[in-house]
Amino acid sequence: MTQDNTTRADPEKERVFTVEIGKLRILSNEMRKEQHERIINWVDESPFRDGSSGKSLTFVLPTRGCKYAMAKHGGCSMCTLPMDNPLNPTTESLYQLPERTWEIFEKKGGVAEFRGVKFYTSGSYLDPWELPVDLRRAILAKFVDNVDEITIETRCEFVIKKHIEDILEVVPAEKLIVAIGQETTDDEINKRSVNKGHKRKQFERAVKLLHQYNVQVKGYILLKSIFMSEVSSLDDVLRSAKHMNDIGVQNISINPCYIGKKTLMEQMFYRGTYRPPWLWTVYYAAKAAKQLVGDRARVICDPVAAGSERGPRNCGSCDKALKATLKEFSSTQDLSLLDIELCECHQIYTSVLSTEHLANGMGTTSVYH
C-alpha cells in the first residue's frame, strides 16, 4: 500500500523561512553596539481613557532587547527593533534608567506637559532577563504619581500572575496599559509570515488574565507583513480587530509595515517582490476598524516612516496630509476626520487591489513602486 504524502509539510521547507530570518538576525546583531546608553524618546498626542487627548512621552529603554529575537529562529520577520539596543548593557547603565528617564521627562516639560508615559524596551518590559524586577519597579515608581497613564510593552508569555501582581504593587490598575504585539489573530499568517510565536490562544490567555486584574490591554496589529497583499492584509487587520474587540481589548493599534534593515522584508523589497502598504490600505483599515469597534476600543494608527520609500506610501503628493489625518484621528477618535477627498492616485490604488495577486500575490506594482 502506498502512502499519500501530498498534504504533509516538508520539514526542510518548513524551516527555510526561519533559517533565513535567523541568518539575517545574526547580521543585524553584528551591527549592534556592545554598549550604549542612548534613550530614544519622542512625544505624541494620545487618546486617554476618559475620551480626551493629551501628550505622552515614549521611551525606548536601552536594555539588551528582545530575547525572542535572539533565538535561533530569528524572531519576528519584520522586526529590527533590537538593533537600536546595546548587546551588553552594563548593570550600572541599567540602574541609571529611573533617574535618566525622569530627567528627560522634566526637561521636555514634565508634569505640566505630559499625561502619559510609555516604556518600550525593543522587547518585553516584563522579561527579567531584560530588566531586573527591582529596576522595572523603580522606573515605574518615578512616574506613577505624576501621570494618568503608564503603558508598558511585553510579549504575552511574560503576562503571568507573578509579574502582573508585582507591577500592580507600584502602578494602580486604572493607570496601567499592557501592550502586546500579537500582530494578527490568524495563527496561519502568524506562522507563515510574521513568525511571532504567539498563537491566538496564548494572546487570549494573556488578555483574560490582565482583565482579571482590571488592567487595560493594547493589542498591536501588523498591516502587510511579507507574502501579504493589500487586500489580504486589510482583511487580516479587520478580522484581527474584530477578534480583539470580541475579547474586550480596549486599545487597538494598527501598525503598517516599514522596511527594516537586515530583514527578509528588505531582501524581498530589493528583489521587487514586496512593496510597503499603500497609505490607502492603512486609511481603510483604521476607518473600518473604528467603525467596527465603535466606542468599545480606541483605534490608534500613526504609521512609522509614512510617505518614505521604505514606509507605507501613496503617490508622494497626498502622503503627508493623509499621515497627519491619521495621526489626528488617532488622538481624537473622531471618525468624521476620515471623511476626506480622494487624491487621484486612489484610482491606481483600486486597480492595484484587483490586480496585484496576478503578479505574484506579494503586493508588487510598477506604479509608484
Helix/strand/coil for 149:
strand
Name residues contacting Zn ion, limited to 259-318 (CB under 5 A).
314-315, 318
Asked if 81 interacts with Zn ion (CB under 5 A), we say no
Helices 133-143 and 161-168 cross at an angle (nearest 10°) of 40
- x/- contact string, 294-333, with ligand SF4 (CB under 6 A)? ----------------------------------------
Name residues contacting ligand SF4, limited to 245-284 (CB under 6 A).
none
Instruction: Report residue 294 CA to chain centroid gap.
Output: 21
Rounded to a whole number of angstroms, the minimum distance from the CB of residue 351 to ligand SF4 is 33
Q: Pick from 21, 24, 57, 79: which binds ligand SF4 (CB under 6 A)?
A: 79
CA angle, corner 186, sides to 180 and 189, nearest 5? 100
CA angle, corner 153, sides to 147 and 159, nearest 5? 110
Using CB distances below 5 to 8 A depending on partner kind, what does residue 315 bind out of ligand SF4, Zn ion, none? Zn ion
CA distance 199 to 187: 6
**Residue in this structure with the C-alpha cell 522584508, named with its chain if needed:** 265
- Site for ligand SF4 (CB under 6 A): how many residues? 11
Using CB distances below 5 to 8 A depending on partner kind, what does residue 286 bind out of ligand SF4, Zn ion, none? none
Helix/strand/coil for 150:
strand
Helix/strand/coil for 237:
helix
Q: Pick from 57, 81, 135, 252: which binds ligand SF4 (CB under 6 A)?
A: 81
Using CB distances below 5 to 8 A depending on partner kind, what does residue 343 bind out of Zn ion, ligand SF4, none? Zn ion
- Where would I find the beta strands (DSSP E) of 5-115? 40-47, 53-60
Whole-angstrom CA distances from 104 to 46, 78, 96, 152, 238 are 19, 30, 12, 18, 37
| Among candidate residues 2, 8, 15, the one with its CA nearest the CA of residue 191 | 15
Our CB check for Zn ion shows the closer of 152 and 343 to be 343
Rounded to a whole number of angstroms, the minimum distance from the CB of residue 331 to ligand SF4 is 24
Q: What single string gives the DSSP state of each residue in 155-213?
A: -GGG--HHHHHHHHTTS-GGGEEEEEEEE-S-HHHIIIII-----HHHHHHHHHHHHHT
Name residues contacting ligand SF4, limited to 158-187 (CB under 6 A).
181
Our CB check for Zn ion shows the closer of 55 and 310 to be 310
Q: Pick from 47, 123, 307, 312: which binds ligand SF4 (CB under 6 A)?
A: 123
- x/- contact string, 53-72, with ligand SF4 (CB under 6 A)? -------------x-xx---
Q: What is the total residue count of the chain?
A: 369
Contact criterion met (CB below 8 Å) for 117 and 58: yes
Which amino acid would we find at residue 230? Answer: E
Rounded to a whole number of angstroms, the minimum distance from the CB of residue 55 to ligand SF4 is 25
Our CB check for Zn ion shows the closer of 68 and 349 to be 349
Rounded to a whole number of angstroms, the minimum distance from the CB of residue 229 to Zn ion is 20
**Residue in this structure with the C-alpha cell 487597538, named with its chain if needed:** 252
Name residues contacting Zn ion, limited to 309-368 (CB under 5 A).
314-315, 318, 343, 345
Using CB distances below 5 to 8 A depending on partner kind, what does residue 47 bind out of ligand SF4, Zn ion, none? none
- x/- contact string, 133-162, with ligand SF4 (CB under 6 A)? ----------------------x-------
Q: Which residues bind ligand SF4 (CB under 6 A)?
A: 66, 68-69, 75-76, 79, 81, 122-123, 155, 181
